Amino acid sequence: MTIDDRSQIPAARRIVVKVGSSSISGENAGQIGPLVDALAEAHGRGAQVVLVSSGAIATGIPYLALESRPSDLATQQAAAAVGQNVLIYRYQDSLDRYDIVAGQVLLTAGDMENPTHRSNARRAMERLLELRILPIVNENDTVATHEIRFGDNDRLAALVAILLDADLLVLLSDVDALYTKPPQEPGAERIEHVAYDDALEGVTIGATGLSGVGTGGALTKVSAARQAAERGTAVVLTATTLVTEALRGEAVGTWFAPAPVAASGAMTFPVPASEAAAAS
């Protein structure tokens, strides 16, 4: 179904929710419980829910006795190998309260670019949803390289929403909405609604986030929201602390209206970090 406005969110058939590293790791690890509460509520009313979760590297950092996010690829991969295990355990431990089983799905950008791998991923996730399993998707950081990364899970979430023909994509972070300028700056105003063809003229969008553990920012979230909206998926951008309200259709965050007729054609993919750097 097409979600034309927030009031239809409770009737959404299929929902993809993306949460960032800073929201569920470190001192914010306790937010996993309330996040799961919101997901379980949507699941309980019959929706098929997919969670795209960052946080493997950030979760693994303290177990490797590191003081900050590593900059070299090998240590990032090692942190992800440890952190992904811990992260999934934390989610499943919380989901057990609702008798919901999680299914882990790890993807690389190469998987989404390869038609066979993409088809396999879709088939697996479709079957998990049919079986009322809650897929938890993350980038496969243990095998990904700088050249073939999504770069951030906002893009991954948009691609998963498109792949699964989701009705709604909810992009969560530590900021409650999109603002006319970075929210910490004086005079920043919250944007409640973005039409599918709104060029956001006069809006200053920051390229980085507020924390030091993630890789995304407002720029990547807006890009991901536009990509999903162009393919007919409604998008809400808001804070992790407001996920319950967002999934109930309340007026929180920023609403990105879906295109009246979803754009046709092949899926588009994130530009590899090396190419993006060369183009900037």
Residue 258 identity? P
Any known ligand binding at 21?
no
Does the annotation flag 54 for ligand binding?
yes
State pLDDT tens for residues 240-250.
999 999 999 99
User: Nearest-CA neighbor of 52 among 231, 224, 176, 193?
Assistant: 224
CA distances from 240 to 29, 68, 100, 171 (A): 12, 23, 20, 9
Structure pTM? 0.88
- Which value, in Å, is the radius of gyration of the alpha carbons in the chain? 17
CA distance 87 to 29: 9
Greater confidence (275 vs 157) lies with 157
Residues 253, 186 contacting (CB under 8 angstroms): no
Task: Judge whether residue 151 has pLDDT over 80.
Answer: no
pLDDT in tens, 195-217: 988 878 778 876 544 334 444 57
Query: pLDDT at residue 270 above 50?
Result: no
Determine the pLDDT at residue 150: 67
- 272 band by pLDDT with thresholds 50, 70 and 90: very low
Per-residue pLDDT at 263 exceeds 70: no
The full set of domain ranges for the chain reads 6-279
Give residue 13's pLDDT band: very low, low, confident or very high (50, 70, 90): very high
Checking if the pLDDT of 149 tops 70, the result is no
Measure the CA–CA gap between 272 and 130, rounded to whole angstroms.
33
192, 168 Cβ separation under 8 angstroms: no
Q: 3-state DSSP call for residue 105? A: strand
pLDDT at residue 262 tops 80: no
2 falls in which pLDDT band (50, 70, 90)?
A: confident
The pLDDT of residue 246: 98
Residue bearing the bigger pLDDT, 52 or 268: 52
Mean pLDDT of 146-158: 74
What topology is assigned to 6-279 in CATH? Carbamate kinase (3.40.1160)
Q: CB-based burial of residue 217 (10 Å sphere; 0-12 exposed, 13-18 middle, 19+ buried)?
A: buried
Structure-block tokens of residue 100: 């919901």
68 annotated as belonging to a binding site for a ligand: no
